Amino acid sequence: MERTIYDADHESFRESVREFLAREVEPHLEKYEQNHGLDREFWRAAGAQGFLGLEIPEQYGGQLEPGAGDYRFNAVLTEELARVNMALASCVGIHADIVAPYLVHLTTEEQRERWLPPYATGELLGAIGMTEPSVGSDLANLRTTAVQDGDSWVINGSKTFITNGFSADLVVVAARTSPEKKAKGISLFGVETANPGFALGRKLDKVGQDESDTAEMSFTDLRVSNDDLIGPLDTGFVSMMQFLPQERLNCAVANLAHARQILDETIQYAKEREAFGQPIGRFQNTQFLLAELVTKADVTQAFIDQCVTAHAAGRLTPVDAAKAKWWSSQVQNEILDHCVQVHGGYGYMNEYRVARAWRDARVTKIWAGSNEIMKMLIGRDLGL
């Protein structure tokens, strides 16, 4: 199916991303998997190519020209990363696509000058601290607190399942500053991980996405100043809701690109793998199955492309972002489960990409708000 939302500039950018991945990333995938994380050399190399600065204005070292923001470049980058693996798209997405808008749109000039230049180069690695051990998707009830003490804030609490958490230098932390206000009493802070009182747990042992660095973190009487408050006091929940649609669209773009790559590889496998004297792709069951999967992928692509176009124009609604997130993760998992089946026993072997992709995809129905939460948002919009 021909896609019409990208022009020559976007496709030229896509080629530069592909060349970078082939040269700088794919030779090191085994190392990333063994280390359960991307090394700083990767981040510096990505920063040197400008891939970490798509949301950052040129005056702070980014790629964003005045008045020229175009989310379609973000989507192209995400697609190409996800075609390599989901962990890569997740880690880079958190830094460049999800945390960066907080640092650009909610910060003071002093904060932007302090954080954004090293952020664009990969010298300052970012993460976001929303999820807590006992809260999950219920962000309005988070328990981490920040109590004012003169010109400082004292933060206590913990976060979990934090992508880039083990190697991050700066974490945007959501903390409760006015407990009596409930959701309206949450604020955001830029917490530099070198601060006394910041502690990391172990790298979490996940079912999939071995290349991704995911950690628990805790704050014990950690002090930050008023200069580290991101955005107005007690507006953190509103800000998180404001930026979640882009995060969920990022997830949707990655979900489908990942699934389509493995589906393409599975179609090729069906042409080459023989059973009972002929390629398995010639069996009617396999033909019908692959026809269904390709059609489902194409239909899903049309909706996601529509959402990308809407977001680039500033028109994407939170409800459409929720639809894209839950549907794409569902479709991704369905496609990859069938791809494993087509590969037979080989599909269950970790040495085959399809097996690793199948494991990597499962969490996409949980993170960025579980699919059940997405359906609740859609249902509420229906007046239910």
Token pair of 121, please? 């180069």
How many CB atoms neighbour CB 180 within 10 A? 7
State the amino acid at position 237 in one-letter form.
F
Q: Which CATH class is domain 237-381?
A: mainly alpha
Strand segments, DSSP code E, in the chain are 126-129, 145-149, 152-163, 170-176, 186-192, 198-203, 214-225, 229-230, 274-275, 278-279
d(CA 45, CA 24): 8
Q: At what angle do helices 318-343 and 353-361 cross, to 10 degrees?
A: 150
Q: Is the dihedral of CA 368, 371, 375, 380 positive or negative?
A: negative
Secondary structure of residue 237 in the 3-state scheme: helix
pLDDT at 85: 96
pLDDT at 68: 62
With contact defined as beta carbons under 8 Å apart, do 350 and 369 qualify?
no
pLDDT less than 70: residues of the chain? 65-68, 136-137
pLDDT at 66: 60
pLDDT at 64: 75
For the chain, give every residue range classified as CATH 1.20.140.10: 237-381
Secondary structure of residue 107 in the 3-state scheme: coil
CA torsion, ordered 150, 201, 134, 214, to nearest 10 deg: 110
What kind of architecture, by CATH, is found in domain 8-124?
Answer: Orthogonal Bundle (1.10)
pLDDT at 140: 76
- The DSSP secondary structure of 255-323, one letter per residue, reads HHHHHHHHHHHHHHHHHH-EETTEEGGGSHHHHHHHHHHHHHHHHHHHHHHHHHHHHHTT---HHHHHH
Based on its alpha-carbon atoms, the radius of gyration of the chain, rounded to whole angstroms, reads 21
Between the alpha carbon of residue 86 and those of residues 19, 41, 79, 257, the distances in Å are 18, 19, 10, 9
d(CA 54, CA 60): 11
Q: Which CATH class is domain 128-234?
A: mainly beta
Nearest CA to 237 among 179, 322, 311? 179
pLDDT at 76: 98
d(CA 264, CA 209): 20
Token pair of 13, please? 């950018």
Tell me the whole-structure pTM to 2 decimals.
0.95
Q: Which residues are catalytic?
A: 247
For the chain, give every residue range classified as CATH 1.10.540.10: 8-124
